[in-house]
A and B are shown apart, each in its own frame.
Chain A
Amino acid sequence: MTDKTLLRVENLKLYFRASKGVVQAVDNVDLTLSTNEAVVIIGESGCGKSSMAKALLRLLPRNVDTYSGRVFLNGTDVMALDDEEYRKEIRWVKMSMVPQAAMNSLNPVLKVGDQVAEPMMVHHGVTKEAALEQAKAMFQRVGVPVDFVNRYAFELSGGMRQRVAIAMALVTLPDLVILDEPTSALDVLTQANIMNLLKRIKKEISTSFILITHDIATSSELADRVAVMYAGQIVEVSDSYRFFSAPLHPYSAKLMASVPKLRAKSEPDYITGQPPSLIKPPTGCRFAARCHKRFEKCSEEPPVIAQDGRLVKCWLYT
C-alpha cells in the first residue's frame, strides 16, 4: 500500500439484533480511500449505507450483534482501540461526520457558533474564545456570515443550517469527513450551492470525503470513485469516469438506467422486485432474483473480481 492510502476497511461487519433475527446491515465490506479523494457510496434505502457510516465512526446503537473487521486509518488499526481511546483520538479528530438530515440535528437551544466551537474545546482543549475564533474562520470558509455565530438554528434557512453542520464537521480539520445524504432535503439551488462548497473545500484543504447518497445525479458532482452497495455488500467499486459512462455490475447498470435525466432523451426504467431482507439474505448473489443476466452460477456467492482497477462482485466477469 502506498502512503497515500488514508483509509483501508477490511471485512467490516455490523449486524443488529432485531425481534425477528439478526439483521446483516453491513456484511464483509472492503473499501480503500486515498488522501484528498471523494468516494461516493450509492444504494437504495435499507442497503446498509448509513449503517456503514455508523460502523466507521463507531456510533453504534445498543442492539449490536456483531461488530468486527479491520479499519486502518493512516496505517493504524482503529478497531483495536477501546471506546475511550477511540473517542479521544479518532472521532471528530481524524474522522467526523455530517449526519443525515443534518439541518435538523443542530441543538435548538444552543447558539450555532457555540455548537461549532465545541469540538475544538473538547478535543483540542482550547479556550472558548479561541474555539469561537476557529468557528468564525470556519463559518467564513463554508459561506455563513460570521455574525451568525450568535444565532440559533431556527433563525437560519435550511441551506445555512446545512453549512453550519458542515462547519461543525470540519472545524477540527479531520482527515476524513463522512457525509450522510448531505443534500437530500434541500432545494435544487441550495443543493448546487452545497455541492459547490464541498468541491471548493476539497480543493482548499486536503480532506477526504465519503459521500453516502441515493441521489446519483448529484453524487456525480463530487465523486472521484463510486462504490455501489446492495443488500449490505459492496457490489462494485469504480472510478467515477468509467462508472458513469459504463457501469459493470448489472445492478449498477439498472440503477443508472432508473435515473431521470434532464438532458437525455432516453426513458428511465425501473428495477422490478424488491431488495432482499437482510435478516436471512439469499445465498449466492443477493441481486440474482432481480437480475436480467442471471445464470446457474449466480446461486453461489460471487467472488470480487478486479478488472482494470475496478472491482465488481459478479459472476459475469470471471
Chain B
Amino acid sequence: MDASPQSGVTPGRGGCLGMNNHTVIACHECDLIHRLPLVHPGHVARCSRCSAVLVRPKSNSVERTLALSLTGLILFFIANAFPFLSFSLETEVRETTLLSGVLTLYAQNERAVAGLVLLTIFLIPLVQLSGLLYIFVPLYFGKTARRTPVVFRLIRKLQPWSMMEVFMLGILVSIVKLAKMAEVVPGISLYALLALIFVLAAIAVSIDPHHLWLKWEQSQ
C-alpha cells in the first residue's frame, strides 16, 4: 500500500501539521510528506517515492510486545545463569558463560573489546527488555508510565547495538573451529540463547511505534 504524497499541507494546531483526521507524516528517509490512509494491521504503508516503511501496524501490538518481553527476560536470565559451551580436552573441562568471555578479555587487558562485548550482548539487551516492560506493563492496564518517551527513545536508539544474533553466529563459528581440537558440548543456555534471538526478532516487529506515540499523546 502506498501512502499518497500530499501537497498543500497546512499547519495545524499545537505546532503539528494535521489534515482533518488523517495523520500527516514525512518519510524519515526522503522527507516527502504523506497523508497516511487508515492502514490495517498486517499491512505496510511505504513511502511512494523511496519505498521506506512508514508504518506497519500490528494487531494486539501491546499484548504481543508485553508477552514477548517477559519471555525474553526469562530467557535472558536462563542464558546467563548457565554455561553455553563446554570444552573438554583430556581431563580438563572448561565451561563458558556469556560473561566469562568478557572477564577473560578484561583480564588480558583488552578492556575496550571487553566493554564492547559486554554492552552488545549483555547490558543493551537487558536495558531494552526491562525498558519494554516499564512501558508495556502499564500500557496493558490502560495507563502510561511517566517516562515513556525517554525510555522508548533509548530503546530505539540502542536497537542497532543489540547483537545477540551476531553472537549466535560467533558461537557456531567457534564450535566448528574447536570441533577437531577437542569435544565441544553445547550447554542449556545455548538453547535459551537460540530462543531469545527469535523472541528479540519478534519483539522488533510487534512494536508499533506509531500506535505507542498516539497512546502517549492521548494520555497527556
A and B: real partners? no
Residues of B within 8 A of A (CB): none
Identify the A interface with B (CB < 8 A).
none
